[in-house]
Amino acid sequence: MEFAILSKQGLYFLLKWSHFIFGIAWIGMLWYFNFVQGPFFAETDANTKTAATQKLVPRALWYFRWGAAFTLLSGLLLIGLNFHLSGATAGEWATGSWLAKIYPGIIMGIVMAANVWFVIWPRQKKVIAAANGEKVENLPVLARRAFLASRTNTMFSIALLFFMGAGGSKLPGAFNGANVGAWYGVIALIIGLLEINALVATNGITTKPIEKPVGVIHMGLVLALVLYVILVVML
């Protein structure tokens, strides 16, 4: 009797399984915050919002931030193991179909995890402290920045899931690899510009499409479509 799950391929499967579990926890909590909790907080009374911020939000944020951390860690391990199992040289692997097609998801995943730990979580700690009676300066500005980063993550998540599904060359279409380097650069530039908007955009009331749940869904779908069209044209 042979336990194939203990082989390198089995390890790859287990890593992918854990990546799915952590990713579901992370993206599930992200969508909960943006599509359920946010609209509820906008409609409920101040006392209910304060009580929820004191007791519910910290619990949800625990799963949210650690889901992000372990999704990123398991994903990076998967990338490394994929390279190891491919038997290709670094150059061959870096310009191959698997990495090229999943690349937008990798970049968005890294940016999203950074948003969670370095933008959203530090500011949410301040919001929770204020709900518990501590004096916090510039609270509306802090909350606004966390909100925009969370909305940006939600937009990214829709496109991320599209390209993560493209891993293993599952995305239909031809691939010649001639412009892989340019593809990597263009994708990094687009995602970088969208991230800058989340980090330095105005703190006031705006008409950004990502302000509303429906708008952020539309923008996520548009982003996935735009990146896919660029992929088809360039690769």
Quote the pTM value. Answer: 0.92
pLDDT beyond 70 at 201: no
Rounded to an integer, what distance in angstroms lies between the CA atom of residue 18 and that of residue 188?
27
- Tokens 């336990």: give the residue: 3
Mean pLDDT score of the chain: 90
Q: Is 46 exposed, middle or buried (0-12, 13-18, 19+ CB in 10 A)?
A: exposed
Are residues 119 and 198 in contact, defined by beta-carbon separation less than 8 angstroms?
yes
Are residues 165 and 171 in contact, defined by beta-carbon separation less than 8 angstroms?
yes
Rounded to an integer, what distance in angstroms lies between the CA atom of residue 105 and that of residue 193?
16
Rounded to an integer, what distance in angstroms lies between the CA atom of residue 185 and that of residue 182?
5
What does the pLDDT look like over 131-181, one tens digit per residue?
Answer: 999 999 988 888 888 999 999 999 999 999 999 876 655 676 667 777 899
Work out the widest C-alpha separation in the chain, in whole angstroms: 65
